[in-house]
């Protein structure tokens, strides 16, 4: 009787192991990052790495190191490495097309984050850049009017980074809102651009030149992402001004930005994106399509784009040092 019971328990254990293994198919995910020097890429990769660890998957990272010409070649390298799925973050559809075609020929599905779909890519987990551009501009208008409600004209300057389409979207919506007939008291005083290659230095020089030319006629300076705001904030402070003279805001959300907000620097607010949330979308899609064999049409919306919620951060809700923003986002199947 005892021997029979032991055999029965062993059989149940073996069935459980094989059943569990069936649901946790071991796969290899290739991850192409645009620039692991950027918080967005680091957090998106960490989100995908965490997802892979939960699932028992292997992950291989390739960093383009801010060289946007390397997207496709790095995807092709992952095809040669025989990965089961490719994830690419913060790209541009015209720059990934060759890599997408190579992956498709090899039967490897491609999943995107913050990158426009092209060809047969499965899904793009991202934030709504059109909406964020308008939201940032709205916050700017409200703050300017609150600070100086009697001022006849509020002057805004914008620095964009047109290398990537998400930045073009944000800037276009900022300009559209500022130029609305409802905002006759708002004037776009100047616009400039930086690139993925010079963003760490160019915004500082641009803002210093603007302040030398316009002084405190400027009310606000907006950047299409945090890195631009860091340089702008430093240039404002180095010119002997405070957030009460000129303030800056941007889009992304990072520890460096939160430090500036906590300190009371001219960088006063940011739209925090849930970069790890992008990876939850891609991870869920990989699980459904690659592991479970589901048809992508039954998994992702017809648009193939999933917008992950973002959050406004200023001095009233900035996270404490060492803490992150709580998004409470579940993923694709929320």
pLDDT digits (tens, 9 = 90+) for 175-218: 999 999 999 999 999 999 999 889 999 999 999 999 999 999 99
32-79, pLDDT tens digit by residue? 999 998 889 999 999 999 999 999 999 999 999 989 899 999 999 999
Residue 157 shares a structural domain with residue 267: yes
Asked if 49 and 59 count as a contact pair (C-beta separation under 8 A), the reply is yes
Alpha-carbon torsion angle 133, 165, 299, 47, nearest 10: -80
In a domain, 13, yes or no: yes
* Domain CATH number, residue 300: 3.40.50.2300
In a domain, 315, yes or no: no
In a domain, 24, yes or no: yes
Pick from 223, 252, 272: which residue ends a domain? Answer: 272
Residue 304 shares a structural domain with residue 291: yes
Q: Which residues are CB-neighbours of 42 under 8 A, at least 6 positions away? A: 36
CA distance 133 to 131: 5
228-265, pLDDT tens digit by residue? 999 999 999 999 999 999 999 999 999 999 999 999 99
DSSP character string of 281-319? HHHHHHIIIIIS---GGGTS-TT-EEEPP-EEEETTTPP
Residue 334: what pLDDT? 62
CA distance 328 to 314: 19
Q: How many domains does the chain have?
A: 2
CA distance 1 to 5: 6
Report the percentage of the chain scoring pLDDT > 70. 93
Beta bridge partners of 266: none
In a domain, 141, yes or no: yes
Task: Domain of residue 151: give its range.
Answer: 129-272
In a domain, 28, yes or no: yes
**59: three-class secondary structure by DSSP:** strand
- Average the pLDDT over 25-34 and give the result: 94
Residue 25: what pLDDT? 78
CA distance 203 to 159: 7
Residue position matching structure tokens 């006629």: 217
Instruction: Say whether pLDDT at 22 is over 80.
Output: no
Residue position matching structure tokens 């950027």: 38
Report residue 6's pLDDT band, with 50, 70 and 90 as the boundaries: very low
Q: Tokens for 112, please give them.
A: 């995107």
In a domain, 330, yes or no: no
Instruction: Say whether pLDDT at 131 is over 80.
Output: yes
Report residue 274's pLDDT band, with 50, 70 and 90 as the boundaries: very high
Q: Which is nearest to 313 in space by CA: 231, 248, 253, 229?
A: 253
Residue 146 shares a structural domain with residue 245: yes
Q: Tokens for 132, please give them.
A: 């964020």
Q: Tokens for 122, please give them.
A: 């499965």
CA distance 24 to 6: 27
DSSP state at residue 153: -
Residue 140 shares a structural domain with residue 265: yes
Residue 208 shares a structural domain with residue 304: no
In a domain, 250, yes or no: yes
Residue 10: what pLDDT? 46
Q: What is the pTM of this model?
A: 0.87
Residue 164 shares a structural domain with residue 292: no
281-332, pLDDT tens digit by residue? 999 999 999 999 999 999 999 999 999 999 999 999 999 998 989 998 888 7
């Amino acid at each position: 009787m005892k021997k029979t019971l032991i055999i029965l328990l062993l059989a149940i254990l073996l069935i459980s192991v094989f059943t569990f293994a069936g649901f946790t198919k071991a796969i290899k995910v290739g991850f192409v990052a645009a620039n692991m020097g950027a918080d967005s890429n680091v957090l998106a990769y960490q989100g995908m790495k965490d997802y892979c660890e939960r699932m028992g998957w292997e992950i291989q990272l390739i960093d383009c190191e801010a060289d946007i010409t390397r997207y496709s070649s790095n995807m092709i390298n992952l095809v040669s490495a025989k990965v089961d799925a490719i994830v690419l973050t913060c790209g541009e559809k015209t720059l990934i097309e060759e890599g997408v075609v190579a992956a498709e020929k090899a039967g490897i599905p491609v999943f995107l984050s913050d990158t426009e779909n092209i060809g047969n890519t499965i899904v793009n987990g991202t934030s709504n850049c059109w909406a964020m551009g308008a939201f940032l501009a709205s916050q700017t208008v409200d703050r300017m009017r609150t600070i100086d409600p009697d001022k006849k004209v509020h002057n805004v300057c914008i620095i964009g980074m047109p290398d990537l389409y998400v930045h073009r979207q944000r800037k276009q919506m900022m300009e559209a809102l500022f130029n609305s007939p409802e905002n006759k008291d708002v004037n776009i005083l100047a616009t400039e651009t930086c690139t993925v290659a010079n963003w760490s230095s160019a915004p500082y020089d641009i803002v210093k030149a603007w302040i030398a030319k316009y002084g405190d006629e400027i009310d606000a300076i907006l950047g299409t992402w945090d890195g631009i705001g860091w340089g702008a904030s430093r240039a404002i402070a180095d010119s002997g001004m405070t957030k009460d003279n000129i303030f800056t805001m941007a889009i992304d959300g990072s520890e460096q930005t939160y430090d500036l907000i906590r300190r009371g620097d001219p960088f006063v607010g940011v739209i925090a994106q849930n970069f790890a949330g992008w990876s939850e979308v891609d991870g869920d899609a990989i699980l459904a399509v690659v592991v479970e064999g589901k048809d992508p049409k039954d998994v992702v919306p017809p648009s193939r784009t999933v917008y992950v919620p973002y959050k406004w951060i200023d001095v009233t809700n900035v996270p404490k040092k060492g803490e992150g923003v709580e998004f409470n986002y579940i993923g694709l199947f929320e």
